[in-house]
Amino acid sequence: MLVILRLEHRPFRDQRISTHCGLVSRVLGADKIVYSGQQDDSFEASINDVTERFGGKFKIEFSESWKKTIQFYKKKKFLVVHLTMYGLEIQKQIGKIRKNKNILLIVGGEKVHWEVYQLADYNIAVTNQPHSEVAALAIFLDRYFSGKELNKKFSGKIRIIPQERGKKVEGK
């Protein structure tokens, strides 16, 4: 099971970034996104709506404490991986990480508390340069699943039919 923890969501500022983290998590193979910070019914509704319309078993839930969430998953023997530009290079660590089937993948927010770095089993960087947490999440998931997530089939109410040009959609 692969769970994403989005730290310190702020609806007035992070709506699009958090939603994109949820969408990327869903489509690229994660099972669930848990978010801390401020509870946001709109964020939850958006992710649930996409999952319902396009398919999948993806879940979203709110946690009042990121720290308790990390501790909970550590007790369940999940490997805790924190995505940060200050971490070790993904290309040198992904082989070790990939051996684990249960992962809590932490994606930062405004300012990541030092304790997150301490609680993580791995602090992983997708480059050691400033970048988007959405991009880092997508690259991590692609590397973790070795590209196999791109072949994942979804069965929902709506299905996009691939085309060279134009848009073809089944259902609605």
Domains of the chain: 2-171 (3.40.1280.10)
Mean pLDDT of the chain: 95
Burial state string for 34-64 with b = 16 or more CB within 10 A and e = fewer than 16: bbbbeebeebbebbeebbeebbbebebeebe
**Percent of the chain, pLDDT > 90?**
92
Q: Identify the band that residue 109 occupies on the pLDDT scale cut at 50, 70 and 90.
A: confident
- For residue 122, how many C-alpha atoms fall within 13 Å in the half-sphere facing its CB? 23
Three-class SS state of 14: helix
Cα 47 to Cα 150: distance, rounded to the nearest angstrom: 19
> Which pLDDT value is given to residue 12?
79
Q: What is the pTM of this model?
A: 0.96
> Which pLDDT value is given to residue 149?
96
- 67: its two tokens: 């720290």
Q: Identify the band that residue 152 occupies on the pLDDT scale cut at 50, 70 and 90.
A: very high
> Which pLDDT value is given to residue 13?
80
Residue 4: what are its φ and ψ, rounded to 5°? -100, 135
Three-class SS state of 55: coil
Q: Identify the band that residue 110 occupies on the pLDDT scale cut at 50, 70 and 90.
A: confident
> Which pLDDT value is given to residue 15?
81
> Which pLDDT value is given to residue 14?
79
> Does 57 score more than 80 pLDDT?
yes
